[in-house]
Amino acid sequence: MSIARFGHISPEQWKEAMGDRAADAIPLEEIPLPRRATAGSAGYDFTAPAETVIPAGGSALIHTGIRAEMEPGWVLMLFPRSSLGIRTGIRLSNTAGIIDSDYAFAKNEGHIMVKLRNPSDAPVTIGRGERFCQGVFLPYGTAEEDSEFTERSGGFGSTGK
């Protein structure tokens, strides 16, 4: 059952997000769309468009250049790739990323960004073109009491009040 579609953000949004780092990154149109490695894989692997060094005890934000349009009632959850977490201890700063179904239509075009935290005593490098996180689509339910909603306006982390 197909419930989503990956695509790239616009060149204008990419330039705004990456700034001076865009010259060192994989060209936007060449960034691979997330894909599963095998037919039995649940996770879609995301590729780092540019080399990113995460300092010891620090964090870094990776701009993927990717957006996901999905059917209502679904969410894309992001996790570090198992091999990266086991090998380096890297984790997502917020434990699991939540990409809501209406995020694709935010002002930032639904640009999926992933903030990684390095709890180790040594810097960790995520290489240009390295698969570093995975996204899993999951259905979700709602409570009977749901009744009042606001329109999404911002992008990353924008639903907080």
d(CA 22, CA 108): 17
Residue where the block lists tokens 């330039």: 15
Residues 32-57: pLDDT tens digits?
999 999 999 999 999 999 999 999 99
The average pLDDT across 92-100 equals 91
Question: Is the pLDDT reported for residue 116 higher than 80?
Answer: yes
Yes or no: say if 58 and 161 are a contact pair by the CB < 8 Å rule: no
CA distance 11 to 25: 13
Cα 138 vs. chain centroid, distance in angstroms? 15
pLDDT of residue 155: 55
Q: Give the Cα separation of 101 and 96 in Å (integer).
A: 16
